[in-house]
Chains A and B, each alone.
Chain A
Amino acid sequence: MSPPNRIRRHRPGVLSAVIVLLLVLTGCGGGESGLSGDTGQASEVTGEFDWKRFDGESLRLVFNQHPWQEAIEPLLPEFEELTGMTVEVESLPEEQFRQRVQVEMTGRSDSLDVFMANVQNEGAKFAANGWYTDLRPLAENPAVTATEYAFDDFSEGVIDGHTFAETLVGIPIQLETQMLFYRTDILQEAGVEVPRTFEELEQVAEAIDDPDGTRAFVSRGAGAAAVTQIATYLFNYGANWTEEGSDTAAFDSPEGVEAIDFYSRMISSYGPQGVVNMSWEEALPLFQQGQVAMYTDASTFMPNILEESTEQVSGNVGFAKMPAGPAGEFQTFNGWALGISPFSPKQNESWYFVQWATSPDVVARLTEEGIAGARESVEFGDAYPEDWVTAFTESLSEARPQLPKVGPVPEVRDAIGTSIVSAIQGEPVEPAVQESAEQFNSIVESAGGG
């Protein structure tokens, strides 16, 4: 009885056939760019605009857990009633959200229709990979766009910021600047004024810090998440992400090192423990619960602070622009948009959702909820704290993008983040920052090929 040998001899043949077949299949798949066939749908639709055109269809939306998402979810039944479509929403915490979308894009999932996009972060990469549907043809097609949509209401600058190589990758749903949130009662008690410069910020922090009670200051410390926050500090110290006109790292300049040193000093000396693991999900509740007195983060958290904090906090919170640094006062902005997956077989249906969510009516209502949209015509109502409106509008008018304009942003965020983490943990700042800069350069270089 020695059948094994016979079997073994036959197997290689079958196996190699299978292998070759699979390799061929995947090799073909990789080169396929005929997916543009899907977006061809966009221009196929003609006729009168009708909200109920796609009655009975369903959409799958993947959202990042975010104030905007929280505000729009209660309104979704209205969309369903208006169009007759059903929507299925999946909202995930930021990191899982990002990975989810990337995995589905790499897997060319046809079950993803609309997703939130943080264009400053992944826009360049997604666009290079062809992972956005061009929304311009959709917006310009009167058969699928209501006349009231008023596409021109979005400022040219903002639309430009969302355009990569002629493709309009998303419609902005929300803009945010970086802001300083502070407890008016605590500052008053200590007899100090709202800090207008970084120097003052540190002085105030020292005056109000209570190691056994309310700490003075918190901001994100979790590596990549902190990179957006640190931008304003960098700029106000006179540093830049990259050299003018090139992709070479410039944040390891003496000014940049100073900025990072200051930032990490502030959060490690005047803040709670464990800050290296904190993104906004962890830092925001601390402010809301009254455990820290000052917090710098995105302006978009204002409604959360006002509505979800303890009474003492929500009754005594002030909003201010980011303090100025030795090199001046620069403000930064970021924002989210809605994008449509090119692999979705429901291009027009998805556009209906994007359109509805960014329509003047919905944006106005979201603005009432405290979400600052991107439409120029919408004004802030009386419910908005005056100091917030002032801080926001003034910042926005002169704001610079928070993130560096390179291709592999997520990867460089990780690289820059390590220096922040090292600095917080007390390691020498300059060598850490220089190493980050080196990594930054090598990442950008090797990604250059696409």
Chain B
Amino acid sequence: MAIAYDPSSAQWSKRARTAGYYLVVALVMLPFLFVFYYMISTSLKQPLAITAPDFQWLFTPTLDNYREVFVANDFLTFTVNSMIVAVGSTAIGLFIGLPAAFVIARYRVPKLALVILSARVTPGITFLIPWFIIFSQLRLIDTYSALIFTHLLQNLPLMIFLMISFFEEIPDELIESAKVDGATTQRTFWSIVLPLAKGGIAASAILGFVFSWNHFMFSIVLSGNDTRTLPVAVFNFMSFGSINWGAITAAATIMSLPVILLTLTVQRHIVKGLAIGAVKG
């Protein structure tokens, strides 16, 4: 029997191809998602389930690990410490970074922007050791200020660069028309530019917060008993005899969750910022 052109089979093969495409996409996403699944599932497992020779896909979940993390250890304190440092450095970063980003965007002062870029490029450890020595002489180790300022140094360039992209998006005409009405550049900045760039500012603030929250190297050395932040605290779970993987993954989950959630709120802007940054080069 001659097979005429059969629209339904063409449709079917198209559907098959689409399904195939989704399958490929899912496969691509799998490794990225799997690690998170692994982290969370391990944190809900009992010790025996973790140390069992075969990977336990099915298991009885328990909140013991989380209980241990919060109750048996000062995790709340560490969270607060991380919060203080992150909020502090982000707030100051916004305060001094937004104006700077604005003028770089509007008045094209690339040389000074280069100075700020060099802070981004330099390895953190280049600052860490001299600052450690200096801070210890000034008795500033284990203080929030030491942590906030060093985190700020790493965050400021990033925040400024992100903001430059967003500020450049604001049409010149808007600013010019405000000037025509007799407003100072200052006022324009506060009353027009900032509200317009809200999304970008939020993205920049949250990224600044995230990078400070995640920061490890400075915190190991500069924080002490009173100011220990989360990434450093998690090492307390490498206990005697065997590593407490349940507690560690619980701690890891607790550490990562806030920043992931925060990012979700502004992810549109972050992606946009990346986009603008990339396209503008």
Instruction: Report yes or no: A29 in contact with B240, Cβ–Cβ below 8 A.
Output: no
A residues near B112, Cβ cutoff 8 Å:
4
Which of the 9-residue segments B14-22, B27-35, B129-137, B197-205 touches chain A?
A: B129-137
Cα distance A48–B107 when bound, in Å? 76
Contact with B along A12-33 (1 / 0, CB 8 A): 0000000000100110011000
Instruction: Report yes or no: B235 in contact with A93, Cβ–Cβ below 8 A.
Output: yes
A residues near B224, Cβ cutoff 8 Å:
104, 109, 111
Q: Which of B221, B224, B226 has the most CB of A within 10 A?
A: B224
Q: How large is the interface on A (under 10, 10 to 19, 20 to 34, 35 or more residues)?
A: 20 to 34
Cα distance A50–B134 when bound, in Å? 40
Q: Is B177 an interface residue (CB 8 A)?
A: no
Classify the interface of chain A: helix, strand, loop or mixed.
Answer: helix
A29, A70, A103, A108: the one contacting B221 at CB < 8 Å is A103
Tally B residues with Cβ within 8 Å of A.
26
A60, A107, A111, A288: the one contacting B132 at CB < 8 Å is A107
Q: Is B141 an interface residue (CB 8 A)?
A: yes
A residues near B134, Cβ cutoff 8 Å:
22, 25-26
Instruction: Report yes or no: A90 in contact with B137, Cβ–Cβ below 8 A.
Output: no
Q: Is B60 an interface residue (CB 8 A)?
A: no
Q: Which of B137, B142, B226, B240 has the most CB of A within 10 A?
A: B240
Cα distance A356–B212 when bound, in Å? 42
Q: Is A65 an interface residue (CB 8 A)?
A: yes
B residues near A96, Cβ cutoff 8 Å:
235, 238
* Chain B residue nearest in CB terms to A23: B134
Cα distance A176–B96 when bound, in Å? 58
Q: Is A304 an interface residue (CB 8 A)?
A: yes
Q: Is A92 an interface residue (CB 8 A)?
A: yes
Contact with B along A38-79 (1 / 0, CB 8 A): 000000000000000000000010000110001000000000
Instruction: Report yes or no: A281 in contact with B225, Cβ–Cβ below 8 A.
Output: no
Contact with A along B90-120 (1 / 0, CB 8 A): 0000000000000000010100100000000
Can you offer 21 A-B residue contacts whose CB atoms are under 8 A?
Answer: A25-B134, A25-B137, A26-B133, A65-B239, A66-B240, A70-B240, A92-B236, A93-B235, A96-B238, A103-B220, A106-B132, A106-B133, A106-B136, A107-B132, A108-B137, A109-B136, A110-B139, A111-B224, A111-B225, A281-B238, A288-B241
Other 13 A-B pairs with CB < 8 A, given A4-B112, A108-B139, A111-B226: A1-B107, A4-B109, A22-B134, A25-B134, A29-B137, A66-B240, A93-B235, A104-B141, A106-B132, A107-B141, A109-B142, A285-B242, A304-B241
**A residues near B, CB below 8 A?**
1, 4, 22, 25-26, 29-30, 60, 65-66, 70, 88, 90, 92-93, 96, 99, 103-104, 106-111, 281, 284-285, 288, 304, 308
A-B complex: 4 closest residue pairs judged by Cβ atoms? A107-B136, A29-B137, A65-B240, A107-B141
**B residues near A, CB below 8 A?**
107, 109, 112, 132-139, 141-142, 220-221, 224-226, 235-236, 238-243
